[in-house]
Amino acid sequence: MGFNEWLNTILLVGVTEEIVFRGFLLRKLMGSFKFWVANTITSLLFVFIKVYLNSLIF
């Protein structure tokens, strides 16, 4: 994998994560919770998924 493909992959993953966690989930949760509660939930979910996926890979 060349540098351009690697860079594009990293950027695509980052943008996709932001859209899912900050765009979709945060807006849905803000319908039921205050901003800070909804933001905390999405942040904890993000950390949980990252730790879980890292444990599967390594």
Q: What is this structure's pTM?
A: 0.67
Angle at 11 between CA 5 and CA 12, to 5 degrees: 85
**Token pair listed for 3:** 């540098």
DSSP 33: S
Query: Dihedrals φ, ψ of 31, to 5°?
Result: -70, -25
Asked if 38 and 29 touch (Cβ cutoff 8 Å), the reply is: yes
List pLDDT tens digits, range 1-54: 788 888 888 888 888 888 887 888 999 999 999 999 999 999 999 888 888 877
